[in-house]
Structure 1
């Protein structure tokens, strides 16, 4: 009986010990399926990819971007306002009903995750979120898009290895058939209330 109990405890210890790795693998696998199907879903996007990119640039031009950390909040929130009420944030750069917007790749640390509208807890459990109130990630002068993701989750890797990114590394955002490539030129660790670095 004692040897049987030791055997069961040993199995439980293995299960608990390997849970984070197995869970992260399944999460990464699910995210890879989503990003692999991203381009296929673009063909069925309505309005068309070209029209949504046009709307996104128009939205950015009309946006008075801003980001603040409100009292008792744990994350910054977007406070940008649009001068064009016809351009609805949640309807632009929307590939599917889940709000899939783009694909973020950071090759140096093996990040390849989907980007969704918003930064709710539900969004951040399945990928990266775009902070509403910051510019949509379609590039252009005088714009700043804020993308967020979790670090240190037991169930998913997401931005866990972001601290290993070095200056001169590149990352890309695939958005509605366009690929925007950026080079890291500065790395900062900022306090949650320091939202100035998130502004244009």
Structure 2
């Protein structure tokens, strides 16, 4: 009886450990993201940093020179029609002039999704595991005419949120990018589902200052399609979304198929039911343990 009880407790503990591992991993990842965000924000704006550095005669990481190089890089992308963006490996590329590819260039905040994540340049596995990443071959997130910074993130990784609830976004929702020099504000203009190979939909549109969010769709589909959210800079006063290929035609609204929200809700309820079952097993184990101890005490008294 004692051995069976012990084996039962160990099995319950093992099952609970396996079940809650994704949650523990998500908490750990969120803690890492918060640390990165706090460190980025604690460094202050570039103007504040430069004043301090001038006084101390030290080098800064994100200097005005890097800002000018970033703007020049964006201009070159537009002039060359993003020729390198057709290469799948190009999305991982970081510009040569970047001081440190391991450091985030900013923070992406999306209030409608309750989402605040570090923003890196180059969609490497390491960057995507920590937060969001600007696809190599697209505009750097410094704003300006003839730019489109395409930002990717996991749809949900190790139970983390990332862009899991991207379908909550609606036209008019705000999206903020805090870079080392300023905070840029964009508004959602349109959403659509595209094929993974349809890179033309992600290219720069002449005369526009844009931000594009992209992730896998539907949820838990292993990248069958891509869910894309097009955003436009609020200060620019630009009008409706235009199709990339023509540049002149207005985009026709298309219904989003295979909506992931029901699947996400089912997953949430399944996890809640799982928690209840585990707690029920623990309670049963405690009851059985109590009965076993009481029987043992009665035998001793007898």
TM-score (norm 1): 0.82
Which one has the bigger helix percentage? 2
Deviation at 1:156, TM superposition (A): 3.0
User: 8 Å contact 2:91–2:122 — kept in the other structure?
Assistant: no
Q: Deviations over 1:91-124 (max 9, x none)?
A: 33x4x56132111111111211111121121221
How far apart, in 2, do the equivalents of 1:186 and 1:77 lie? 26
**Cα deviations across residues 168-197 of structure 1 (Å, max 9, x unaligned)?**
211110111310111111011111011111
Q: Which residue of 1 aligns with 2:160?
A: 156
Output the CA distance in 1 between the equivalents of 2:15 and 2:24: 14
Distance 1:47 1:77, change over 3 A: closer
- Kept after mapping to 2: 8 A contact 1:151/1:158: yes
Q: What corresponds to 1:83 in structure 2?
A: none
Residues 1:55 and 2:69 aligned together: yes
Choose the corresponding residue for 1:102, options 97, 106, 113. 106
- Give SS of 2:190's match: coil
C-alpha distance in structure 2 between counterparts of 1:2 and 1:90, whole Å: 63
| Aligned counterparts, 1:13-162, within 5 A | 13-41=15-43, 43=49, 46=60, 48-63=62-77, 64=80, 65-66=82-83, 67-68=85-86, 77-78=90-91, 89-92=95-98, 94=99, 96=100, 98-154=102-158, 156-162=160-166
Larger radius of gyration: 2
Instruction: Work out the CA distance in 2 between the residues paired with 1:127 and 1:10.
Output: 33
Which piece of structure 1 moves more, 148-157 or 37-46? 37-46
For the aligned residues, what is the CA RMSD? 2.5
Q: Which moved more, 1:45-54 or 1:147-156?
A: 45-54
Deviation at residue 46 of structure 1 after TM alignment: 2.9
Q: Which runs of 5+ in 2 are unaligned?
A: 54-58, 205-302
Consecutive unaligned residues of structure 1, counting only runs of 5 or more, are: 81-87
Counterpart position of 2:7: 5
More displaced, 153-162 or 102-111? 153-162
With normalisation by structure 2, the TM-score equals 0.56
Question: Larger relative contact order (C-alpha < 8 A, sep ≥ 6)?
Answer: 1
